Structure 1
């Protein structure tokens, strides 16, 4: 499990060490970790450090000092480096060490921003040390003019690798918000502990890969702001069949998805659930949709019955329901059944206060905006996308449900906490039917779960695991080109096989 903390919490953990005079030692540990990551990146990209070109964007805080010390070590390995000072009071000792190693220095101004951008683009590596965890708001002029710099992963051909020092400048360390211009990175080397802002909202996309350098803060850190499941955590949540199991003991999932207008949603949710390993799918829906389901998935048991008559362990309802009153009614009944239930798409609008954490709402940003507005919390989509962490927490607390907010980094909040963030997906998953597939995966995990709720975050963990499996399946599928949702179940099986065989 990866635990991320707010910038406020990390600064509080640092303070006793700073009070004890350990500040210089902490900076050297951070700078060495940054140097180690930067040198590895340079070696992988060009084969050696000797002859490499590095640009340091150095601000007034400790991050600027960390970046300058790291660049000094690269200079000692035969590289060249230019420090671009974005503030007047850059760390004096670090700047002096940089100069002693032969580093060049220039001050950023409005007039030379274009020249600095060209310098960055002609380099092998850019170290972003403009702002740290205490930075509020976006980059200010003239540094804001550097926000157009694109890291290597966002461009084809030659481009500098951008390494952010602790977090990309302009990103809020607590929430991941970007209230103004900000930089984007290929790699973020963060110190002491991952910052929550690297796992949510714009910060999650801007961070690139995340590498954490231990500088001795762990004993002082308490409650994590965000957690991320790793392979072992997900494997522990899976329940493979055991000797003596039969189709009913392996878990029965009820699916009320699709409609005569959107029958594909039912097919996709059913296929994903079966690929995840549920013992049986009981599908409820219109006769034409049942016929289609049985044609493509003959193992599914289909009927036009109601929720109360179906014997299942969990529900997945809402995808593709559209304006079908029967399917929407089934979704409402699934929410009220007391069983674990995934509620997606059009059915989310029926959610309100008083739901339990076993109900998992799976909105995208637009659907979450509509839900919050219906509950009296006035907001808009831009606000939700800008600060998804605050909004998903608020939605969980308002409804009492577990809320999974889809996005580049999918966030899952249990009412009262915790919050999980999974970011294994590929942008190719932004395609019609992707969410229907996620509903089927999550529904199957709920139906096969036998461990019981255990803690307030139990259903949030299952939802986070489903998001990770979905994201990994999409990434696997994308290796063959653009992703079609109908092809995801094959990749879901491969992803699960990897967990179950380890």
Structure 2
């Protein structure tokens, strides 16, 4: 699992490292890693035109020292300070000694641009002078950000004003939360971690974490020789309506692919469901988890309330989210999993949708705390929060997932994992991971249908299981 940390925790770990290392050692390690990454992105270093956008802080120093290393290898390095009166003195001296130069203007051409304008302490977007430099980055020049793109909030991924869009971000010591969460993640490009010798224990508790393929086998259910369809779990699906029968079909499709032994459907779309999936049980009965809400319409609130009254895990999605009472959810003894998209999250919180989109981390934490539930916030960065541990960030997916019905498949899949016995946060995280992986495989760079995501789930499951 890839873990990310708050600025406060990273700063504490850096202070601990600096106390036991020679002065300047951390910056030199960072500069060496940055220079190596830059060199790897250039067809050749000798003769390459490298432009450094330099702020007054340590990120500017990292960029200058890295530029000095590149200059010693024959690159033509030009540093452009945002504030000529505040440039890291040691870094500037090293660059000049290596043959680099200082300029008041960004050159018209560059083979590589290094963004060292702001560090992890920067907030509120770029100031005018720095923004003016970022606007003059030569078109087509690859951009490497130092630690994180300037203008991105390192703790939240929020972008409050002008910011740099990087092709590659070279981050030091530990991942920062803002590199994993949109909109900041979308500006970071490929993220490369450089080890500068921070003590993992000194970093403390992660603020966020992203699953990796190796984490999935420990989460996904695997039947044993004595398993039967009931011991593997039965998931109930309350979904669909006369207007939206397809939502029921898609939710059942995801549920059938999710590891539970059986799927029980309750709703008016039973003919459509059985025509597509004759394996489905129809009508109420004993279940180990419920999925409530996809395509439900506005006249079946009583069925949603009935599911929430049962002492089993319940996933609530789509129409089931309307008018949810936090007191009802907080009084439940069994886990509740909410799976809103940004618009639904905004309605639950009583804020504009734009506030959720720009502050996804704050929104998912607020929802989890207010409703006493695990929350899976869908979107360009899907987040899972249980209100206690690190927020989980889903790294898989494709923009083609923004298609009708894909959320219904995800709900069925996550509900099935709940019925199979996974804790709500694990069920949500594993479902989002598999769902995104399946979508990427099914799309292969082209538009896809939600039913194709469901059909690709077995291949995604096998891929992460290594079989």
Question: Which TM-score bucket, shorter chain as reference?
Answer: over 0.9
For residue 141 of structure 1, the aligned residue among 111, 128, 132 is 128
Cα deviation, 1:425-483, whole Å, max 9, x if unaligned, reads 11111111111111112112112226xxxxxxx42232112111111112112215112
Q: Residue 4 of structure 1 contacts residue 225 of structure 1 at CA under 8 Å; is this kept in 2?
A: yes
Instruction: Tell me the equivalent position of 2:363.
Output: 391
Cα deviation, 1:151-208, whole Å, max 9, x if unaligned, reads 9xxxxxx822222111110111111111111112222111111111112231121122
Alpha-carbon distance, 1:404 to partner: 0.9
Q: Residue 170 of structure 1 contacts residue 183 of structure 1 at CA under 8 Å; is this kept in 2?
A: yes
Query: Is structure 2 residue 348 aligned with structure 1 residue 371?
Result: yes
Equivalent residues in 2 for 1:13-92, closer than 5 Å: 13-18=13-18, 22-42=22-42, 46=43, 48-88=44-84, 89-92=86-89
Q: CA RMSD in A?
A: 2.1
Equivalent-residue separation in structure 2 for 1:71 and 1:20 (angstroms): 27
Query: Is structure 2 residue 178 aligned with structure 1 residue 197?
Result: yes
Equivalent-residue separation in structure 2 for 1:431 and 1:143 (angstroms): 38
SS in 1 for 2:257: helix
Q: Residue 438 of structure 1 contacts residue 470 of structure 1 at CA under 8 Å; is this kept in 2?
A: yes
CA 1:144 to 1:221, structure 2 compared with 1: closer, same or farther past 3 Å?
Answer: same
CA 1:259 to 1:463, structure 2 compared with 1: closer, same or farther past 3 Å?
Answer: same
Unaligned 5+ residue runs, structure 2? none
Instruction: Tell me the equivalent position of 1:338.
Output: 311
Equivalent-residue separation in structure 1 for 2:134 and 2:82 (angstroms): 13
Equivalent-residue separation in structure 1 for 2:76 and 2:406 (angstroms): 47
SS in 1 for 2:206: coil
Alpha-carbon distance, 1:150 to partner: 8.6
Cα deviation, 1:27-71, whole Å, max 9, x if unaligned, reads 0111111122222222xxx3x333333221111111111112222
Equivalent-residue separation in structure 2 for 1:247 and 1:128 (angstroms): 56
For residue 215 of structure 2, the aligned residue among 218, 233, 241 is 233
Equivalent-residue separation in structure 1 for 2:34 and 2:121 (angstroms): 19
SS in 1 for 2:254: helix
Query: Is structure 2 residue 156 aligned with structure 1 residue 182?
Result: no
Number of residue pairs the alignment of both structures matches: 461
Equivalent-residue separation in structure 2 for 1:422 and 1:400 (angstroms): 21
Query: Is structure 2 residue 86 aligned with structure 1 residue 106?
Result: no
Alpha-carbon distance, 1:485 to partner: 1.1
Equivalent-residue separation in structure 1 for 2:296 and 2:132 (angstroms): 47
Equivalent-residue separation in structure 2 for 1:126 and 1:382 (angstroms): 31
Equivalent-residue separation in structure 2 for 1:417 and 1:480 (angstroms): 35
Equivalent-residue separation in structure 2 for 1:322 and 1:150 (angstroms): 50
TM-score, L = length of structure 1: 0.87
Equivalent-residue separation in structure 1 for 2:358 and 2:112 (angstroms): 29
Q: Residue 72 of structure 2 contacts residue 99 of structure 2 at CA under 8 Å; is this kept in 1?
A: no
Equivalent residues in 2 for 1:254-333, closer than 5 Å: 254-286=236-268, 289-303=269-283, 309-323=284-298, 325-326=299-300, 328-333=301-306
